[in-house]
Amino acid sequence: MYIGASFLIPITFAIFLATLILPVTNFLEQKFKIGRITSSFIGTLIIFIGAGLIFFLLIHQIGVLLNDLVDRRDQILLFVQVIQENLATAFDISLDQQKQMAQDNLLSGINFLQSYLTNILSNIIGIVLNFLLILIYLFLLLLNRGKFTDFMMMYTADEKKKETAGILEETEKVANYYLWGRIKVMTILAIMYLILFSAYGLEHMGLLVVFGAIITIIPYIGPFFSGFLPVVFMIIFNHSYVEVISFAVIILIIQLIESYVLEPLIIGSEVKQNPLFIIIGVLLGGMVWGMAGLILFVPLFSILKIIFDNTQELKPVGFLMGYESSGEKDGIIEKIQKKFKKNTD
C-alpha cells in the first residue's frame, strides 16, 4: 500500500465517492429513465461542482486573509515590537541583540520559505491532477458498476453467492451511510461555527468555518485543529481575555456535541468502531498514505470489519474492532439515537 500509494489513493477516493453518489445516479435512472452514461456523467459533475466550490471558497478566503495581513502591517510590526520588549524584559536580551539574531537567521529563513512555497505549488498541481484522475475513475466506476459485482460473483462458489451478495450490499450501505452522515455532521458543525463566530465578531470567519468543517473529517485530530485555530484568531485580533476564555469554552462544548451527540445520532451504530482501532486507523493511515490516509483508513477499517464479521475464521477480529455495548441500560444518547432511527424508518 505504501509503494503503490500514487495509484491506490486516487482509485480509493473514487470508489468512496462512487458509493456516495450512487443513490443519486440510481434515482436518475429509475425515476427519469436516464441512461447509464448520462447518469454517470451527472453524478461525476455533481462531485466536481461540490469539490470545486469548496476549493474555491478556501482559496478565496485565504486570499482575503493575506490581503488583510498586508493592510495590517503596521499593527503586526507593533505586535512584534511588543514581543521584543517582553523578551528583553524576561530574558535580558537587548533589542540590538534580537535584531542581530534576526539578521543572522533571515537568509536561512528566506531559503526555507522559498523551498516551502515551491513545495506548496507542486503539491497544489499534484492535487489538481489527482483530482482530475479521481473524476475519470469515478465516471468509469459508475458506468461499469454492474460488472464489478458480476466479476466477484464469477469467483464465488454457488453456495457462497448469497452470502457474498449480502456482504457487498452491506459494505456499500455502510460506506454510503458513513460518508453522507459525515457530510451532515460537517454541515451542522459549520452552521454552529457560523453562529458562534458571528456572535463574537470573529474576523475571517468564512475561512475558519470552511476549514473547521472540512478538517473534522479526520477523527480526533481534525476536531482539535478546527477548534484550536479560531481560538488563535481570537487571541491575535485583539480580543479581551474574557472573550477568549468564553469563546474557547463554547468551542469545547460544540466539539463535545459533535463527538458525543451528532456523530452517534447521525452516523449511527452501523459504522461504529472501537475507538482504539479508529486511532490506530488514523495513525496507520497517516504513516502509509499521509493526509489521504488520515481520511480514508477509518472507512476502510469499517469495510474490513464487515468482511471480518462475515468470515467465520475472522469473526474474532471483527468482534475486537467493533464497539460493543456493555449490556447496561442505554444512556441518553442511545435512547435519542433509537428514537431518531425509529422516526426515520
Give the C-alpha distances (Å, rounded to integers) separating 258 from 150, 193, 321: 40, 11, 22
CA atoms of 100 and 224, how far apart (whole Å): 37
What is the pLDDT at residue 285? 92
Q: Are 171 and 16 in contact (CB under 8 A)?
A: no
Sole residue written with cell 468564553: 246
Burial per residue of 44-83, b for 16 or more beta-carbon CB atoms within 10 angstroms, e otherwise: beebbeeeeeeeebeeebeeebeeeeeeeeeeeeeeeeee
Phi, psi of 322 (to 5 degrees): -80, 165
pLDDT tens figures, 106-143: 556 556 555 655 665 566 677 788 899 999 999 999 99
Is the pLDDT at 244 greater than 70? The verdict is yes
Q: Is the pLDDT of residue 6 over 50?
A: yes
- Whole-angstrom Cα distance, residue 305 to residue 342? 25
pTM of the complete model: 0.79
- Once rounded to an integer, what is the mean pLDDT over residues 162-179? 83
> Which 8-state DSSP code applies to residue 273?
B
| pLDDT-above-90 percentage for the chain | 27
For 65-112, the pLDDT digits (tens) are 778 777 766 666 666 666 666 666 666 666 666 566 655 555 565 565
Q: Which residues contact 170 (CB under 8 A, 6 or more apart)?
A: 306, 310
- pLDDT value, residue 327: 47
- The cell numbers describing 31, all together, are 425515476
Count of alpha carbons within 13 angstroms of residue 222, beta-carbon side: 22
User: What residues does each domain of the chain span?
Assistant: 1-143
